[in-house]
Chains A and B, each alone.
Chain A
């Protein structure tokens, strides 16, 4: 079974509108971390936002927020006021456990290609 599922291969949004990118995860660990990365066509992976499994508040970073629903095992990324520069591939990732060697391993979803239209 996939540990990270991103069900939207591609998404389109109008400039200045908000968009939600879906991510569900599967783990039996109590301690884990969820990450979102942006990858433009240039190739660099850019860290956007992090949510820890024990964090009670949804994470926010500027125009990015993470809608964390622990019971549903979902960690959707919300981008407000989309900009043309937001067009990129977006990956959801999970790290299981907060100690030992497993702490280094990120499991990535397959990604969602977001296109922002002018």
Chain B
């Protein structure tokens, strides 16, 4: 299994809703990532988990809350989002710190905040 899966594919939510994005990989990778990508822009790193611990938080607002329940799963909990948070949210994973360590990306969740 060489893929990263993300659910849901599309999500529409109001500013008062609470929702979660899910990401799963079964490649034995020990690093997992959340990126945010606005239209026609490159991905922006949000969070990195390494060995199930939060390693990097790129000063992301607290209305985004990551969670890594185990080495295969990564969640992003969303609460009280703003319309400008509408974007493609990409999950990625990589082996860890060694070697070329390419990141494998999931198909993304297209989020619309009304």
| A interface, CB within 8 angstroms of B | 33, 35, 37, 42-47, 50, 52, 91, 95, 99-101, 103-106, 108-111
Contact = CB atoms under 8 A, between A and B. Distances in A.
Interface of B: 31, 33, 40-43, 45, 48, 50, 55-56, 88, 90, 92, 94, 97, 100-108, 110
Which of B40, B43, B48, B94: most chain A CB closer than 10 A? B43
B90 A104 contact: no
B100 A105 contact: no
A104 B55 contact: yes
A10 B98 CA distance: 34
B42 A50 contact: no
B31 A104 contact: yes
A90 B64 CA distance: 28
Given A44-B105, A100-B97, 10 more contacts: A42-B107, A43-B88, A47-B105, A50-B100, A50-B102, A91-B42, A95-B101, A101-B48, A104-B55, A105-B56
A37 B105 CA distance: 10
Contact of B45 (A50, A91, A106): A106
